């Protein structure tokens, strides 16, 4: 899917909520998905509620010392010993809970979000992401690669399919599965959510799984937009990683084209 990109700053009109859309990822009791893990219980999984404004239900998130994935917990502990001043914990989502757009990445980078405690902050990946969000009216402030740089998201929220930093920058399949209930909780708890932007094939698969859809049913393709059964729009883009941008797999123009087309789709939905 291609779209022309204007050279002028673009302000997108926030999408209004659709009251009739079912909660993303919520299936009827008689249609279980064979690959679904049981939802973690608060006491067993170390689940905690993230902060939310008065009157809103907190979104469940992993506890600071979450041990659900032994390999990731051990890696966090090793990083904590080597770099005690880093965040070194499951990275919480960033952005307002009334957002119409959720951006989903794969997992925190060891010197990026694992260090700063904010998604896509502190390493190369955040440069293109936050600059593009700002250009399209979805962020304000100057990105400074730190969690206290003053950047604010507008009608947009960012999270990761796996909340903890993985060794070699790659989570294992079981770790995606274990963390998937947290992504499902995000989707279900955002009342005005209209679209998800998946950065990379693994984030794409995680979103589908969180929505109760077998990942093999809808294939990832950069620039593609899929309308899920509940009306949620799933947009695909290559990940904004240093490797992808350095090799030209993803250019600034390509990423902006995805954002432009997604903004048009949200505007068309009203």
Concatenating the DSSP letter of every residue in 105-164 gives ES---TTTHHHHSSTT-SSTHHHHHHHHHHHTTSEES---SSTTS--EESSEEEEESS-S
Residue 37, pLDDT score: 38
Both tokens assigned to 263: 């903004």
Q: Is the pLDDT of residue 54 over 70?
A: no
The answer as to whether 225 is a domain residue is yes
Q: Is the pLDDT of residue 35 over 50?
A: no
The answer as to whether 55 is a domain residue is no
Q: Is the pLDDT of residue 252 over 60?
A: yes
Q: Is the pLDDT of residue 49 over 80?
A: no
Lowest-confidence region among 12-21, 52-61, 235-244: 12-21
Helix 201-210 vs helix 173-189: crossing angle, to nearest 10 = 60
Lowest-confidence region among 46-50, 112-116, 230-234: 46-50
The answer as to whether 20 is a domain residue is no
The answer as to whether 260 is a domain residue is yes
Count the neighbouring beta carbons within 10 Å of the beta carbon of residue 135.
19
Residue 145, pLDDT score: 92
Residue 222, pLDDT score: 98
Q: Is the pLDDT of residue 269 over 90?
A: no
The domain that contains 78 carries what CATH number?
3.40.470.10
The answer as to whether 5 is a domain residue is no
Q: Is the pLDDT of residue 45 over 90?
A: no
The answer as to whether 53 is a domain residue is no
Which alpha helices (H) appear in the chain, and where do they start and end? Answer: 42-45, 70-82, 113-116, 125-135, 173-189, 201-210, 242-247, 252-269
HSE of 140 in the Cβ direction (CA atoms, 13 Å)? 4
Tell me which residue range forms the domain holding 261.
Answer: 66-269
Q: Is the pLDDT of residue 96 over 60?
A: yes
The answer as to whether 107 is a domain residue is yes
Structural domain count, the chain: 1
């Amino acid at each position: 899917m291609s779209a022309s990109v204007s050279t002028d700053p673009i302000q997108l009109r926030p999408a209004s909520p659709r009251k009739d859309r079912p909660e993303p990822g919520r299936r009827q009791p008689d249609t279980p998905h064979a690959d679904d893990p049981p939802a973690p219980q608060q006491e067993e999984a170390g689940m905690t509620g993230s902060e939310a404004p008065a009157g809103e239900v907190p979104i469940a998130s992993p506890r600071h010392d979450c041990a659900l994935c032994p390999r990731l917990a051990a890696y966090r502990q090793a990083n904590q010993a080597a770099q005690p001043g880093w965040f070194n914990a499951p990275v919480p989502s960033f952005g307002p809970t009334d957002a119409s757009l959720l951006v989903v990445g794969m997992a925190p980078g060891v010197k990026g979000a694992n260090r700063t405690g904010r998604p896509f902050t502190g390493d190369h990946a955040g440069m293109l992401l936050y600059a593009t969000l700002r250009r399209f009216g979805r962020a304000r402030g100057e990105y400074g690669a730190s969690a206290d740089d003053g950047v604010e998201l507008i009608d947009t929220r960012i999270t990761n399919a796996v909340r903890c930093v993985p060794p070699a920058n790659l989570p294992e399949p079981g770790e995606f599965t274990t963390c998937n209930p947290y992504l499902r909780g995000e989707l279900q708890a955002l009342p005005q959510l209209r679209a998800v932007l998946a950065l990379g094939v693994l984030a794409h698969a995680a979103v589908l799984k969180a929505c109760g859809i077998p990942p093999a049913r809808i294939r990832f393709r950069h620039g593609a937009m899929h309308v899920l059964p509940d009306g949620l729009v799933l947009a695909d883009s290559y990940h904004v990683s240093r490797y992808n941008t350095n090799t030209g797999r993803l250019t600034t123009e390509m990423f902006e084209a995805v954002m432009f087309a997604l903004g048009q789709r949200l505007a068309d939905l009203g």
